[in-house]
Amino acid sequence: MDKSTQWNLWYIVLAFLGVLVLHSYVQRWQQVEPLPYSEFLHELDKRNVRELAVYPDHIEGTLNQPLADGRTRFSTTRVELDLARDLSEYGVRFTGVVQSTLLRDLFSWVVPALVFFGIWMFAIRKIVGKGGLGGGIGNGLLSIGKSHAKVFVESDTKVTFDDVAGVDEAKAELEEIVDFLKDPKSHSRLGARIPKGILLVGPPGTGKTLLARAVAGQAGVPFFSINGSEFVEMFVGVGAARVRDLFERARLHAPAIIFIDELDALGRARGAWSLGGHDEKEQTLNQLLAELDGFDPRTGLVLLAATNRPEILDPALLRAGRFDRQVLVDRPDKVGRLQILQVHIKRIQLAAGLDLEQIAALTPGFTGADLANLVNEAALLATRRRADAVTLADFTAAIERIVAGLEKRNRILNPQERHVIAVHEMGHALVALSLPGLDTVHKVSIIARGIGALGYTIQRPTEDRYLMTRAELKNKMAMLLAGRAAEALLIGEISTGAADDLAKATNIARSMVMRFGMDATLGQVAYEQAPSPFLGPLPEGVDAGARHYAPETAREIDCAVRQLTEAAFQRATQILTQRRAVLEEGSARLLARETLNEEEIQALVSAAI
């Protein structure tokens, strides 16, 4: 309960007490001093009563002759007639008394009112919530049409471009936004206008929200942050009202930045839903489009938004004049990962001589959030072993934990299973070292990790790759199937340990046939749409969409995929057959030591040549 509500309650209580006091004084002023009922009967016997007013509980009247005190008006309380007659016979002076029912009457209607008022104060207000324009709006019924944006003033943001690394191109795109917010007049002196909306597009964890906050912190302006899902409600019109309220509040604080995270929850293409509920979402989107049309950037407002699903946004939202500019915030390359690591290691104690470039090389595909988690995990591992500084071994162990899962040394495997796993992992390592275009083997282990990994082979890429040729994809398939080929060669039996390898190799073969047009019999045709560029491929068993090819073509696709996987398996078997001695020696050494690093594997292979 805020202070204004408390003062209002005190005003009500004081006014109520004042009414009671005033009523008491009025009653005393108007009241006639009561006459004992016995004296009333005596005056009645003397024929001194002129007229009477009989009430249910008392009698008021006028006398012919005044009483001893000079009164001619009187009031007396009624007494039961038989009792009065008996008392008069014995000469008893008596009077009737009316019990005051003021408090009872007051409590009969005041207490229920107070009870209902208390229920409203403590129960209903929790549901209704409270509203205001100072940020932090409640989720109640009274504020249902209010925007739930969190407002960060200049002193609250505390994030600048120095805190964002690995996205130099995106920062360069947003620097002019900062210049405009700091000095709008000089920026528009030649007639140019700032873009109305800037859409940050990229995979999860790449720093889109951090970059938006850095723009606000660098410019020193208020920052309105809200998620796109907060506009969507079950009541039609609520989302549109929240959009209007958000822009109205931002105009009051201009210059300012409005940041809408997960824009795809609000700006999904109209008509793209398979179920009901179109009206609310479409009205909310229409209101946002209307606000962007009437949005004058010269007022000092900049609209930033972020999404990792740009392919499902409504085309009207992305046209020129609304979100004019789209800035890609992609996964960082090796140089970007090094810059991000340099930002995050400022708060930890590193060992002398630690090479951050080596850590950056070990983390291809890591986003900024992944690297921040990596630094924290490495610091935790060093703290757990009571070290004075974080070493390269801590970072390597943290990478393995993030990529492969938690190490499970307590999982007991029988000797036969450990032998199968050692042969399987050594098969991966040998084929990876034998074929060109594959990443260097960094570590091989038969220690179980994660949910289902009984062993693992970690490869270290020498450089970031963005394109792969048909030959390189086939080599990668051969490396994936080398574990099963090694089992068949040395043990004479295959196991279930290659389930994940089979799935990955099949996905590569299917993509080669259906998306990349790398099969001569099916021609240069794409039979499958690419998945979301930022959210990765769909999970196993999830249909990507309708098939636009004939059943005969589907059979040809299956045959082509099977031929590619069989060829990769035969190639891996051929390589391992030629290097069988190295495979046997390596699996025996891996079985004895459980883990082999890059130097030990290279020495093993070099000794066999």
Residues forming the active site: 425
Helix residue ranges, H only, 197-262: 208-219, 238-252
Pairing mode of beta strands 49-54, 456-460: unpaired
Give the burial class of 100: count Cβ atoms within 10 A of its Cβ; 0-12 exposed, 13-18 middle, 19 or more buried: exposed
Sheet of strand 440-445: strand arrangement: 456-460, 440-445, 595-597
| Cross-strand bridge partners of residue 48 | none
DSSP readout, 387-435?
A: -SSB-HHHHHHHHHHHHH--B-TT----HHHHHHHHHHHHHHHHHHHHS
SS3 484: helix
Tokens, residue 291:
């606000």
Q: What are the strands, taking DSSP E only, across 341-460?
A: 440-445, 456-460
DSSP readout, 54-91?
A: E-SSEEEEEESS--TTS--EEEEE---HHHHHHHHHTT
Please write down the HEC assignment for all residues of 267-289: CECCCCCCCCCHHHHHHHHHHHH
Give how far Cα 52 sits from Cα of 57, 61, 74, Å.
Answer: 14, 4, 10
Dihedral of the alpha carbons of 179, 184, 190, 195, in degrees to the nearest 10:
70
| Cross-strand bridge partners of residue 326 | 199
SS3 293: helix
Q: By the 8 A CB rule, do 414 and 377 touch?
A: no
HSE toward the beta carbon, residue 178, CA cutoff 13 A? 18
Q: By the 8 A CB rule, do 431 and 482 touch?
A: yes
Rounded CA separation 362/374 (Å): 11
The separation between CA 351 and the C-alpha centre of its own chain, rounded to angstroms, equals 36
Q: Among all chains, which residue has been given the structure tokens 């207000």?
A: 125
The separation between CA 53 and the C-alpha centre of its own chain, rounded to angstroms, equals 78
Rounded CA separation 146/142 (Å): 9
SS3 468: coil
| Cross-strand bridge partners of residue 52 | 61
Sheet of strand 301-307: strand arrangement: 150-152, 223-227, 256-261, 301-307, 197-201, 325-328
The separation between CA 292 and the C-alpha centre of its own chain, rounded to angstroms, equals 25
Pairing mode of beta strands 325-328, 223-227: unpaired
Q: Other CB atoms closer than 10 Å to residue 402's CB: what's the count?
A: 14
Nearest CA-CA partner of 495 in 438, 455, 447: 455
